[in-house]
Amino acid sequence: MSVSLQSEAIDVAAEYAQLVGDSPGAAVATFTGYVRDHSDAHAVTELELEHYPEMARNVLEELGQSAAERFGLSSWRIVHRFGRLAVSETIVWVGAVADHRGEAISACELMMDTLKTDAPFWKREQGPKGEQWVASRDSDTERRARWQSRETQ
């Protein structure tokens, strides 16, 4: 039931153990995001993540709480990194514990889809042609919007 913003690598095994240890449930889902070695059209050698710390923490805590209410989670955790990240390093990890798989998986999906567009983090890629800020994707905005339309159904 918590958020971590950190510059150090995410210890996925330790995070998993703590998530389940807090509340052994029947269904556990997690998602781990890693730095890709390519963007749409070019190679990526390094990523730098800038963030707005206080707002990022508030947004992610509210997101975890709303996912917990919506899907009846007994435990959740969101970990997001900032700073310089090498290719293949972890960027983000979310986990959810529920009574059934549907709720646990949906909660992770909701947390990831919302986090992408609502949490104040910005990626800057380092590649062969130098540095460039990553542009937001319409596909991310669309995925985020799907959850809003489901809320009103």
CA 53 to chain centre: 15
Angle at 55 between CA 51 and CA 59, to 5 degrees: 105
Joined tokens for residue 9: 């690598």
Check residue 59 for interaction with another protein (CB under 8 A). Answer: yes
Pair of tokens at residue 67 = 């996912």
CB nearer to another protein: give 53 or 102: 53
CA separation for the pair 27, 73 (Å, rounded) = 10
Closer CB to another protein, residue 25 or residue 94? 94
Closer to another protein at the Cβ: 120 or 127? 120
User: Is residue 77 at the binding interface for another protein, with CB under 8 A as the rule?
Assistant: no
- Residues between 102 and 141 with contacts to another protein, criterion CB under 8 A: 112, 115-123, 133-136
HSE (side-chain half, CA atoms, 13 Å) at 152: 4
- Subset of residues 23 to 42 that bind another protein, contact rule: CB under 8 A: 33
Candidates 1, 23, 46, 51; binder of another protein (CB under 8 A) is 51
Q: Can you name the residues that pair with 94 across neighbouring β-strands?
A: 31, 78
Q: Which of 119, 99, 146 is nearest to 55 (CA)?
A: 119
Closer residue to another protein (CB): 26 or 86: 86
Q: What's the distance, Cα to Cα, between the start and end of the chain in Å?
A: 27
Q: How far is the CB of 152 from another protein (least distance, A)?
A: 19
Residues that bind another protein (CB under 8 A): 33, 49-52, 54-56, 58-59, 80, 91-92, 112, 115-123, 133-136
